[in-house]
Chains A and B, each alone.
Chain A
Amino acid sequence: MTLDKGPRRILSRLVSARAATCSVVLSFVLSGAAYPKDAEQSASTDQLQAKIAYCENCHGVAAQGFHGYYPIPRLAGQQPEYIKNQLQAFIEHRRTNNIMFNVAHVLSATLLDGLTENFQKLNPKPLTSPAPEDLIAAGKKIYEEGIEKSDVPPCAGCHGPDAKGNDQFPRLAGQLSDYIFNKLTNWSKERGQNPANPDTSTIMAPIAHSLTEQQIKAVAAYLNQLE
């Protein structure tokens, strides 16, 4: 199996990644602190590029997403505020994910700015999974009209008519369909895990609960192919 442009980008970043890795480790050792002090230190380009390459190792070429053991979500074109909220949720264990906890808790605020700005600008084609046309059509209907009898509002109301999101509302366009399926199905098992500290994930809980499995599959199929 051969790939084209993406891995070459990864490979070309390797040279700077190796140097950056050494400088990152050294800066942590010298600073003696768990988090670098943001006011005094802006993330160097090398450091940022190395971190981007690391994210893309799992999140895919140009952060298009990747089918690892788990479906690993698309970050390309994602709203910076949403990414920052999720990373914070991982750190505080309000959102359950051991791998992302480990990723998130070493990121400085300035590195976060650089990362989220970078991901927002990426625009690879969606990483699509095959889906029947009628399922996609059913998903489009749910996305645009909601499901009145189950009190499910139209997704477009918050996520936008083109599913590109806004501020804290995430982009859904081009997201991996199995990722969307997993998240909606497991919403309350993974998010808002600290009842004493409720967060923005609460908005989605009733919606995730009210959607049937088939409806979730339909919405996921529709969103997956949206550019």
Chain B
Amino acid sequence: MKFFGSHSFQLVGVVGLQLALVAIALTVADRVHGAERSAMHEGNVPAKLAYCEDCHGPSGQGFHGYFPIPRLAGQQTAYLKNQLEAFVEHRRTNNIMFNVAHSLSPGMISALADDFHAFVPPPLGGGARHLVPTGEKIFQNGVPEANVAACAACHGPNAQGGGEIPRLAGQLPDYVFNKLINWSRERGQIPSKPDTSAVMSPVAHSLTRPQVEAVAAYLSYLK
């Protein structure tokens, strides 16, 4: 019991208190310095980015893994955030992305989304060249006789997207094909919680397989 009453203990207490105060001050200072600093504090962004690129390709250009893994480069940040939320809530079905997404903090998600949005690698291409003119026609004009809206109306004339509407330019053609064909099997999986994926369901259903292939081919070469 001698220690607790001693000057040494009091010294330890004072020094400890000072260290705690310094730590608190530094934390407060960091919060004041903006999103990038707090993202850095919540985790190592460059390391997480490299992890994403491991599957999504250098600069998020996309990669042909066992599954076609989509291009993230140039993607709209609000769209990326919505999809990560959808994976976490199982509104969008993907086990691998569920595991990726549910450990990301909001600060980390913001930092990653900003990084990917800024990347501009050239498109990987790969769509069937002879289908590109048909794909372009469908993209710009829609298919009015089949009640298919023109993609350009929402995704923009250059397929760059905007706000919550995704960029499609330079996307892997087999990825676009898979997503459109499987739209209602993968997205909007909680009927009691309908989400923005609902707007694409009629389009995905009304397009024929050859039309989907053509649009995917067209998009694959867009910069």
Q: B-contacting residues of A (Cβ < 8 Å)? A: 1-4, 7-8, 10-11, 14, 17-18, 20-21, 24-25, 28, 50-51, 53-54, 57-58, 66-70, 72, 98-99, 102-103, 105-106
Q: Is the CB of B157 within 8 A of A1?
A: no
Q: Is the CB of A1 within 8 A of B196?
A: yes
Q: Given A2-B195, A103-B144, does the pair A72, B153 have CB atoms closer than 8 Å?
A: yes
Shortest CB distance A43–B (Å): 13
Q: At the interface with chain A, which of B22-30, B122-130, B201-209, B210-218? A: B201-209
Q: Is the CB of A10 within 8 A of B198?
A: yes
Q: Is the CB of A99 within 8 A of B153?
A: yes
- Give the contacts of B180-213 with A (CB-CB under 8 A): 193-196, 198-199, 201-203, 205-206
Across-interface contacts of B201 in A (CB, < 8 A): 10-11, 14
The secondary structure that dominates the A interface is: helix
Bound: A96/B21 CA distance, A: 66
Across-interface contacts of A57 in B (CB, < 8 A): 149, 199, 202-203
Shortest CB distance A106–B (Å): 4
User: Does B154 belong to the interface (CB within 8 Å)?
Assistant: yes
Q: Is the CB of A7 within 8 A of B162?
A: no
Bound: A24/B206 CA distance, A: 12
Bound: A68/B76 CA distance, A: 13
User: Does B173 belong to the interface (CB within 8 Å)?
Assistant: no
Across-interface contacts of B156 in A (CB, < 8 A): 69
Q: A-contacting residues of B (Cβ < 8 Å)? A: 82, 85, 140-142, 144-150, 152-157, 161-165, 193-196, 198-199, 201-203, 205-206
Indicate which residue in B148, B163, B194, B206 contacts A7 across the interface (CB closer than 8 Å). Answer: B194
Across-interface contacts of A98 in B (CB, < 8 A): 140-141
Besides A57-B203, A68-B153, A99-B141, 4 new A-B residue pairs in contact (Cβ under 8 A), listed by A number: A1-B82, A58-B150, A69-B152, A98-B140
Shortest CB distance B184–A (Å): 9
**Residue of B152, B153, B198 contacting most chain A CB atoms (<10 Å):** B153
Q: Given A8-B194, A10-B198, A57-B199, does the pair A24, B147 have CB atoms closer than 8 Å?
A: yes
CB-CB nearest in chain B for A53: B202
Q: Is the CB of A102 within 8 A of B194?
A: no
Bound: A223/B65 CA distance, A: 51
Shortest CB distance A172–B (Å): 22
**Residue of A25, A66, A103, A105 contacting most chain B CB atoms (<10 Å):** A103
Across-interface contacts of A58 in B (CB, < 8 A): 149-150, 153-154
Across-interface contacts of B196 in A (CB, < 8 A): 1, 3
Could you give 11 example pairs across A and B, Cβ below 8 Å? A2-B194, A8-B194, A14-B205, A51-B147, A68-B154, A69-B152, A69-B165, A72-B153, A98-B141, A99-B141, A105-B144
Bound: A58/B152 CA distance, A: 10
Across-interface contacts of A70 in B (CB, < 8 A): 153
Q: Given A1-B164, A69-B156, A72-B153, does the pair A17, B194 have CB atoms closer than 8 Å?
A: no
Bound: A24/B163 CA distance, A: 34
Bound: A105/B193 CA distance, A: 37
Across-interface contacts of A25 in B (CB, < 8 A): 145-146
Bound: A67/B194 CA distance, A: 19
Across-interface contacts of A99 in B (CB, < 8 A): 140-142, 150, 152-153
